[in-house]
A and B are shown apart, each in its own frame.
Chain A
Amino acid sequence: MSTAKDRAPGPAGSGLNDDIGEEKRLALYRSQVRLRDAEQRAFDLFLQNLVKGTSHLSLGQEAIAAGFAEAMVKGDLSFCTYRGHAHTLARGVPVEKVLGELMQKDNGLMRGKGGSMHLTSEKHGVMGSYAIIGAHLPIACGAAWRAQYRGDKDVSVCFFGDGTTNIGAFHEALNFAAVWKLPVVFVCENNLYMEYTPIKDVIPIPQPAADRASAYGLERILIDGNDADIVYRTAQKAFARARAGEGPSLIECLTYRHSGHSRADPAKYRPEGELEEWKKHDPVKLYRERLKQFGVSDAQIAEIDASVRKEVDDATEACKAAPSPPLDIITTDVYADGGWAWRN
């Protein structure tokens, strides 16, 4: 009987496990390249002064966004942070919508009313990007509570950084979710730094999330967050557990951001050689190699790269050409009646 493993096209004895399958593998690759290209473009656009305000890139962390988003199904909900471009794009939001918001144009996802830190696209399941550290963990619990209450099968997935494990809302949410057995998956992207301070300087244990899981009766899960296959498998397991009513998971993904914390940060606080070391374990590079091991041709890879590049190029042009938002939306949507009236 042939198993998935037997069918793996990798070299005999390579131990390549093909549980992911060709289609998903190509999707994971495409997604990571897309996140990389779109964010690199965002960075180029800052340098040209076309992206205004602040911006927090996930360059180097793409495997987490891609791996989780590819494991999610329609209806599953993402709760992101200010470092949320990648998670938003990974759920299928067009690059133009994200770049448009960063460039504060009328074609932006929220027409300039939210900005880079608050990307939201409910129709893609992106339930907001939150810029107050930890605030969205309890909110994700609430969405999961609704699913539990109504018997809906969707999972709420909440992404945050290593530094976020030190704020009260993290602990309140973990305890709450565990006690109520909510279908929520907490994903800690440990990129080794909060803003500028190394996480190891501000925690009394080695791993900020994994080493705290036991306090909430949860399994200790610590994975390589730069390997999209590992992320994808871990996500699937956690989602299955959530959908089965077995409660939350807390997953710590080890990763590294290639750029500074935000657009203003040159990241001078990093020890020499650290970035270079991590770049050897670049998720996009790693996954391109994986495709080749599985026999995907250079031409096929180049084709994916080119089609992604085209989306990013077209989006850039569309955003450059797009008008600024009209000023009459400044006072819309403060209240549900569409307006801002606080008195008669």
Chain B
Amino acid sequence: MSAPAAAQIEVAGLVKRFAGVAAVADLEFAVAAGEIFGLVGPDGAGKTTVMRMLAGVMPPESGRIVIDGIDVIADPERAKQHLSYMPQRFGLYEDLTVDENIRFYADLFEIPRRLRDERIGPLLAASNMAPFRRRLAGQLSGGMKQKLGLICALIHTPRILLLDEPTTGVDPVSRRDFWRILYSLRESGVTILISTAYLDEAERCTRLALLHQGRLKYCDTPRRLKQLMPGVLLTIASPDARAVRDTIAGLEGVSGVLLVGDGVRAVVDDEARRLPELRRALASAGVPFGAVARTEPTIEDLFVALLRQDEEAA
């Protein structure tokens, strides 16, 4: 875990308990300026709780949070001038129009009218929201709502952007718009912390932190994380994928057996030894199968394998 030199976000010893149960336990990580740092983990892992504490809207039990050089716990109001937070749940007013929402948030940040209007245009254009300015927020699609949330979050030009599952339930086109905006923000020097349950999105981050049951399990670049993949991922093509799955599921050294489009994927601990065993087992069971190929693991494969490995170790 390399702690970047110029950390924009620094978290250490962060703990939050609800009714005695730890939702976040002893969390430590740092995010450098200009990163798109991904926080990934299953539901209930503690992503939202971390985001809220970083945004200064939920006091932690103990620990340290420094954002842009400001101690968030000691002075959340000053930190809020530099950061922006988009909650997981849509937090804008559904009975106000797109324009009214944007103006309201601009006004709360006391942005002069001229400056505000200068900023709104490009933001609306970049998110393809310009035609919907007069539409009530409640009548927008899920993707448009999130883009509106992002516009409101950007209206005071924050240096740090905290996004809690911004693309969950968002259509692919809006998702692409969304990520295009994130990349251009990054280029202009904004540091982004994004949580996501979509692991294909995780690959787009500069670095990833895997959170599980409130603990940080792994934290590194997607490429280096993939090298942690325990064993080798194989794809077995077959017209009867279910039979393949059922046959190999219990074999020694085989794990993470998963149905995919045209076959089965599985992780084997030792390719040279397990591959012949697999073929033999399938042949003797009379299950038809075609090519068996080594496959580049995705982040999803990786995390499933890592978490399983941890569970087995425990």
Q: Do A and B bind each other?
A: no
